[in-house]
């Protein structure tokens, strides 16, 4: 799952396990390969049960999420489709509509807000990106007019909803600077299912990983992450300790570039196969160290990537490069080693240090698991949402 899907899944599971009835409206599965399964083709919507959840699946075109224009087309198509899918819920009693999707502070979330008004239900808007800078900083749109229009749209949509829920305090602060009402802004942090993501012996291990000290990156291979520094760090590591293997596992826009960059390195293995959730858990547990090298962007300084919570939950020491929110968490709770971005030498040394020091690995791993349970588990998330609902219901 991508980041937005992961957040939506955890919110749904948190509320379900807390005793609430949950209905999910979601696009047909298409990510990340961009192909809708044949079973859904030619259908505007489908109703399913998935792990106890009622799911309304809606049409989405077969497009790979590469490039801003394709993403925009997908989001617009989803806005149209879920508008139709919502008609199936008109006769239901709804208390809360939680819109969890990229660019929630845009007109794409307006159909959800309209349904909330019609059903007299609360509407929460999840915000996981530093809006609207994210679409400018990564190079997709580059005009002041676009920035101004996006900011005005964010203020309007937030005013129409009951609550905007940024995932970090940094994003909350930026939304205040854009003019959003403090009364309608509450941080709802990310979560991870700590009953599923647990430290355990992997059921499957790729034979190429056996006997190696494994430093693994798992997730989207995209522009937010600093694979250039990671590959340069791997070159340094190869000269000092050939037992260390750097595994890059995932898919995304930069996959082919990463494959080409690592082609000459015997201590870097790139696995681009789309894996099941169960197999991903195996790869996380097979690792000795988990990696999250982030580029030095304004956006990345305001987030804690959802993959980090899964890293913490499986009790592995984490080596992360970046600044801001992630740096604060890493330095406060010590689930791993934080290094400055764009510095392959320091990144390499952090990985080598953990290979040499087993006691340090165990200490950091214990901190990581404790952090996941106490701060980011599903019960913590459900309790936060319930308290926000109660506060809005109080005169």
Domain ranges within the chain, ordered by starting residue: 3-191+377-393, 207-376
Percent of the residues in the chain that have a pLDDT greater than 70, as a whole number: 93
Q: In residues, how long is the chain?
A: 395
Question: What's the burial of 311, exposed, middle or buried (CB within 10 Å: 0-12/13-18/19+)?
Answer: buried
Beta strand spans in the chain (E): 23-27, 45-50, 53-58, 96-99, 122-127, 163-166, 213-220, 244-251, 268-271, 289-293, 318-321, 336-339
* Highest mean pLDDT, choosing among 13-22, 82-91, 146-155: 13-22
In the predicted model, what is the mean pLDDT of residues 137-157?
A: 70
Q: What is the pLDDT of residue 70?
A: 78
Specify the higher pLDDT residue, 24 or 205. Answer: 24
CA-wise closest residue to 392 among 177, 96, 31 = 96
Confidence of residue 104 (pLDDT cuts 50, 70, 90): confident
Question: Model's pTM, two decimal places?
Answer: 0.86
Tens digits of residue pLDDT in 237-262 = 999 999 999 999 998 888 999 999 99
Q: What count of other Cβ atoms lies within 10 Å of the Cβ of residue 163? A: 22
CB neighbour list of residue 24: distance below 8 Å, 6 or more residues apart = 8, 12, 50, 53, 54, 55, 56
The pLDDT of residue 146 is above 80: no
Residue indicated by tokens 């399913």: 48
Q: What is the pLDDT of residue 142?
A: 53
In the predicted model, what is the mean pLDDT of residues 152-160?
A: 90
CA-wise closest residue to 236 among 334, 350, 69, 318 = 350
Burial 6-24 (b: 16+ CB within 10 A, else e): bbbbbbbbbbbbeeeebeb
Q: What is the pLDDT of residue 390?
A: 92
Task: Domain 207-376: give its CATH code.
Answer: 3.40.50.2000
Fold match between domain 3-191+377-393 and domain 207-376: yes
Tens digits of residue pLDDT in 330-380 = 999 999 999 999 999 999 999 999 999 999 999 999 999 999 999 999 999
Rounded to whole angstroms, how far apart are CA atoms 394 and 39?
Answer: 46
Instruction: Report domain 3-191+377-393's class.
Output: alpha beta
């Amino acid at each position: 799952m991508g980041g937005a899907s992961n957040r939506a899944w955890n919110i749904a599971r948190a509320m379900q396990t807390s005793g609430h009835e949950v209905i999910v409206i979601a696009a047909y599965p298409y990510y990340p390969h961009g192909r809708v399964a044949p079973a859904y083709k030619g259908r505007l919507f489908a109703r399913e049960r998935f792990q106890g959840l009622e799911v309304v699946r809606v049409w989405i075109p077969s497009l790979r999420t590469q490039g801003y224009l394709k993403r925009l087309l997908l989001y617009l198509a989803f806005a149209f489709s879920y508008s139709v899918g919502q008609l199936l819920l008109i006769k239901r009693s709804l208390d809360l509509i939680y819109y969890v999707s990229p660019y929630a502070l845009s007109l794409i979330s307006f159909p959800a807000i309209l349904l909330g008004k019609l059903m007299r239900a609360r509407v929460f808007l999840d915000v996981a990106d530093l809006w609207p800078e994210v679409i400018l900083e990564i190079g997709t749109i580059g005009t002041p007019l676009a920035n101004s229009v996006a900011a005005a749209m964010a203020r309007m949509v937030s005013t129409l909803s009951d609550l905007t829920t940024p995932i970090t305090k940094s994003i909350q602060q930026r939304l205040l600077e854009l003019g959003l009402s403090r009364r309608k802004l509450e941080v709802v942090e990310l979560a991870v299912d700590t009953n599923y993501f647990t430290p355990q012996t992997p059921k499957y291990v790729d034979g190429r990983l056996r006997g190696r000290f494994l430093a693994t990156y798992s997730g989207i291979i995209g522009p937010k992450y600093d694979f250039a520094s990671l590959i340069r760090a791997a070159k340094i590591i190869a000269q000092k300790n050939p037992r260390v293997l750097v595994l890059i596992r995932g898919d995304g826009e930069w996959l082919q570039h990463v494959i080409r960059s690592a082609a000459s390195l015997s201590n870097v293995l790139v696995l681009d196969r789309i894996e099941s959730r169960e197999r991903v858990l195996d790869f996380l547990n097979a690792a000795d160290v988990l990696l999250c090298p982030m580029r030095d962007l304004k956006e990345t300084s305001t987030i804690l990537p959802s993959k980090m919570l899964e890293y913490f939950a499986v009790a592995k020491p984490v080596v992360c490069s970046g600044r801001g929110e992630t740096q604060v968490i890493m330095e406060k709770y010590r689930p791993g080693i934080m290094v400055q971005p764009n510095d392959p030498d320091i990144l390499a040394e952090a990985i080598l240090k953990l290979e040499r020091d087993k006691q340090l690995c165990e200490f950091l791993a214990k901190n990581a698991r404790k952090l996941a349970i106490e701060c980011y588990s599903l019960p913590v998330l459900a309790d936060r949402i319930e308290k926000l609902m109660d506060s809005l219901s109080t005169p």
